[in-house]
Amino acid sequence: MAQVFPYTYYSCPCVESSSTKPNAVQSAPQEAAPFLEDEEENTFDPRSPRANFSLYPIEHLLYCTDCHQIRCPRCMVEEVVCWYCPNCLFEVPSSTVRSDGNRCTRNCYNCPICTSILSISSLEKPTEGLTPNDAASDAAKAPGGPYFLSCPFCQWSSLEIGIQFEKHFNLTSQLQKIIRGDTHRLGSVTDLASPRGEEMEGEIQGRASVASVEDTAPLPIQGDTETLFTNLYNFYRAQLSELSDANPYSLSSDYSFASPSSITRLMNLYGSGGRTKKDRPKPIREAAEFSEGQKVSNPLSEKENIDRIRSVGWEGTASVEQRLQQCREDVGFVDELRPLATLLRTKKSKRCKICRQILSRPESKVSTNRYKIKLLALNNIPKITMRSLNAQPAQHPSFPMQATAPGSDEASTLKPLVPTHFLLTITNPLFDSIKVTLATPSTTPGCVKSKVTILCPQFDVGANTDVWDEALSSATDRSSKRQSQMLSAGPDGGSLTGIQAEAGKVWERGRNWTSIVVEVAPGSLPDSIGHVTLGDDAQGDGGAALDEDEDVLEIPIFVRLEYETEAGGDDGGAAHARKEDAGKEKREEAFWAVLGVGRIAG
């Protein structure tokens, strides 16, 4: 962990559930905090391997207002709101995506060399000399053909692979034509007149296939990938239709497990085998010849490739990235690379996996980046921050968040066995004041046992009211008292012990935040890290050496909130109100958080 101390990670409740399968819907927890009951035994260990997957900074978390729980990326389900092309920003209907593939079928192409967007330009020879109304005439008439695709960045152009276009629109269909011309020229067996022919075209064009090059025509028997794909597609389709004709229980018609055909099939599998042998469908065989889409590796072409590498050199061979982008397996040289239709992007909405509530939903219009719904944990869960009390000078109470320089080494390095005071500040984003109860195991889990004491485990935090309320009202009595204490203690701050935090008392309080003191006595490291080789049972759970980052002091802390709010308020789910009492309902929330304090000095 190479992060800056101090940090706070929030634990998503999904760490408790053993499975995150969608069938967890049935076992949706009715309680806000399912692990409240066995709180005593069940301490959260930030070092457990499972915890690793549920700890997030609060900015990364969403909050389900129906379940009243934090939701991490692991317990959300994503849904595609829309597909769009990042270049032309046209939305593509999902039915088109299904039939034509996830690439733009308009005029958007990416450079096969450097992936930047290609532009279409004319090859028309410009008129000689400049006429006075040159600009005007240029604007009036678009340059004539032929056209070609060119990359404004690396200067690649489709001319390098011999592709020109007659029109500057409808590139996809023009490329399609070039493919077909190419396939026919190669004399391969393409059944484009098949009933699926029309669909096949879409398939091919979705795959961003472009004609191959004249001078690099592959061996005739090999055919190119498009032909092979077409042949194989037709072959399997024919096999499947044969199967479904012969057998009503075939796979092709219905995949769902609840369908009658599937049940019958399962009954047959496990049953007494009432069916006779002749009912059994003949097994699906593999493609066996070229017309069926079989590809035979050709030793001759290998030799050819080696010769070609010899002649074109390193510059002439395509890089791994370039080859992977091509969606064709037989590409090895730069002059075989074709322009790539731009991949579509998606906008996704997120739902709670348990109750299906929408947690975030972007506006479906492609050109806006606003959100319709966005339930951030930041707006629903108190923010916990921590900083060292010793390292900080007497400061103005109006700036409670003013911390020591983050990441400064002195501040984040802890001396073993020396009790250190930390200031824990809880900031409330809610519009109701909250009652907070904090709990922490007296010694931290892990092999370095540090003692942690929360001096004031129960306190109130004010509501997130208007900022002006605070500004207009005088400073709260508690903080002014603290300030006067600070002043009396002297400006040097050396006599901080004189105003030492008293147990059970809040350190400082503001409009919607409260600070309390946490005393930490870091445990001593068994030995300097890296030198420990002997197993020391007293030190840890049988671990021989100190693991990586064992010297990081992380405090698991259990946060429990209680507050009263308007029934059926902003969450819109009055059904979930636990206790209705004159329009007010009492809510209770609880979660684990982990405070990373610093590294213990070895």
Partner 1 sequence: MDQQASQAKRVSTSGTSSNRASTAKRSSTNVPKAPTSLDPNAIIANHAVLTGIHTISVAAGTVIHPHARIISTYSAVDIGPGCIVSEKAVIGLSDLSQDDPEGDLELPEIIKIGQNVNIESGTIVEAAEIGENTLIDVDVKLGAGSVIGKNCTISACSVVPPGETVPDYTVIYGNNQRRLNKSLQSTPVILDIKSKGHEKQLNVLQRLVPSNLAKWQ
Q: Tell me which residues touch Zn ion (CB under 5 A).
A: 12, 14, 64, 66-67, 72, 74-75, 85, 87-88, 104, 106, 108, 111, 113-114, 151, 153-154, 156, 352, 354-355, 357
Pairing of strands 413-414, 584-600: parallel
Q: Which stretch binds partner 1 (CB under 8 A): 48-56, 130-138, 292-300, 492-500?
A: 130-138
134 binds, among Zn ion, partner 1, none (CB under 5 to 8 A by kind): partner 1
Helix (H) or strand (E) holding 3: none
Nearer to Zn ion, 121 or 465 (CB): 121
Cis bond before residue 6 (omega within 30° of 0): yes
Instruction: Select the binding partner of residue 315 from Zn ion, partner 1, none (C-beta < 5 to 8 A, by kind).
Output: partner 1
Is 141 a residue that touches partner 1 (CB under 8 A)? Answer: no
3-state secondary structure string, 420-456?
Answer: EEEEEEEECCCCCCEEEEEECCCECCCCCCCEEEECC
Cis peptide before 146 (omega within 30 of 0): yes
When asked if residue 122 is in the footprint of partner 1 (CB under 8 A), the reply is: yes
Contact 373, 62 (CB under 8 A): no
- Residue 131 or 368: the one with the smaller Cβ distance to partner 1 is 131
- Nearest distance in Å: CB 339, Zn ion: 10
Smallest separation (angstroms) from partner 1 to the CB of 177: 22
Is residue 543 a contact partner of residue 592, using CB atoms and an 8 Å limit?
Answer: no
Kindly state whether residue 49 participates in binding partner 1, applying the rule CB under 8 A: no
- CB count in 10 Å sphere of residue 596: 22
Least spacing, CB of residue 590 vs Zn ion, in Å: 15
Helix (H, G, I), strand (E, B) or coil at 38: coil
Contact call for residue 114 and partner 1 (CB under 8 A): yes
Nearest 5°: the CA angle 301, 307, 311 is 140
The CB-of-17 to Zn ion minimum distance in angstroms stands at 9
Which long-range contacts (C-beta less than 8 Å, at least 24 apart) are formed by 308-315? Answer: 308/333
Q: What are phi and psi of 574, to 5 degrees?
A: -65, -20
Contact in structure between 67 and 86 (CB atoms under 8 Å):
no
Q: Which is nearer to partner 1, 2 or 140 (CB)?
A: 140
Phi, psi for residue 543 in degrees, rounded to 5: -70, 135
Assign 3-class secondary structure to 50-68. CHHHCEECHHHCEEECCCC
- Residue 525 interacts with, from Zn ion, partner 1, none (CB under 5-8 Å by kind): none
With CB cut-offs between 5 and 8 Å by kind, which of Zn ion, partner 1, none does residue 64 bind?
Answer: Zn ion
* Nearest alpha carbon to residue 149 among 134, 133, 161, 132: 161
83 contact partners, CB below 8 Å, separation of at least 6: 91, 92, 93, 94, 97, 102, 344, 345, 346
Q: Binder to partner 1 among 24, 88, 117, 123 (CB under 8 A)? A: 123
Distance CA 69, CA 32 (A): 7
Q: Which of 42, 52, 99, 153 binds partner 1 (CB under 8 A)?
A: 153
Quick one: which segment of 9-17, 101-109, 114-122, 373-381 binds partner 1 (CB under 8 A)? 114-122
- Considering only residues 12, 14, 32, 113, which one is a binding residue for partner 1 as defined by CB under 8 A? 113
Residue 250 C-beta: closest distance to Zn ion, Å: 38
Q: Retrieve residue 379's tokens.
A: 């707006």
Contact of residue 559 among Zn ion, partner 1, none (CB under 5-8 Å per partner type): none
**Distance, CA of 67 to CA of 56 (rounded, Å):** 19
Report in angstroms how near the CB of residue 315 gets to partner 1 at its nearest: 7
154 belongs to the binding site for partner 1 (CB under 8 A): yes
- Interface residue with partner 1 among 42, 155, 443, 485 (CB under 8 A) is 155
Rule CB under 8 A: say whether 135 interacts with partner 1: yes
The angle at the Cα of 541, spanning 540 to 545, to the nearest 5 degrees, equals 60
H helix intervals, 94-146: 94-100, 134-140
Kindly state whether residue 156 participates in binding partner 1, applying the rule CB under 8 A: yes
From the list Zn ion, partner 1, none, partner contacted by residue 87 (C-beta under 5 to 8 A by kind): Zn ion
Q: Does residue 261 contact residue 248 with C-beta atoms inside 8 Å?
A: yes
Cβ at position 120, least distance to Zn ion in Å: 12
Q: From the CB of 111, what's the least distance to Zn ion, in Å?
A: 3
Question: Looking at beta carbons only, is 331 or 354 nearer to Zn ion?
Answer: 354
Contact partner, 354, from Zn ion, partner 1, none, Cβ < 5-8 Å per class:
Zn ion
169 is a contact residue toward partner 1 (CB under 8 A)? no
- Figure out which of the listed residues 130, 136, 306, 472 binds partner 1, where binding follows CB under 8 A: 130
Specify the 3-state DSSP secondary structure of 241: helix
| Contacted entry of partner 1, Zn ion, none for residue 299, CB cut-off 5 to 8 Å set by kind | none
CA 553 – CA 6 distance, rounded (Å): 10
What x/- string results for residues 295 through 334 when contact with partner 1 is judged by CB under 8 A? --------------------x-------------------
Minimum gap (Å) between residue 205 Cβ and partner 1: 24
Residues within the interface to partner 1 (CB under 8 A): 113-114, 121-126, 130, 134-135, 148, 150, 153-157, 159-160, 315
